[in-house]
Structure 1
Amino acid sequence: LEVGALVFENYIQRETLKRCSRRFANFATIIFKLLLKR
């Protein structure tokens, strides 16, 4: 799960830089937190 979390976080950073969207960053952060709760 830790490796997947790092990859997912890296993906979030890449997409955030591409879209430059705070909404997307917030949305991805919420999903990331939900995945960590499992």
Structure 2
Amino acid sequence: MVRRVAVVGAGVSGLAATKCCLEEGLEPTCFEQSE
């Protein structure tokens, strides 16, 4: 079962969180204000 994660903000912290999620086998979706 794939666990999905929403990351709000594509700044430095948001991209770092997205990378960590990928390393843990999660499926992150990163949202930025313009989307």
User: If the TM-score is normalised by the length of the shorter chain, which range does it land in?
Assistant: 0.3 to 0.5
Q: Which has the larger radius of gyration?
A: 1
- Name the structure where helix makes up a greater proportion of residues: 1
TM-score by structure 1 length?
0.44
- Name the structure where strand makes up a greater proportion of residues: 2
Greater RCO (CA < 8 Å, at least 6 residues apart): 2
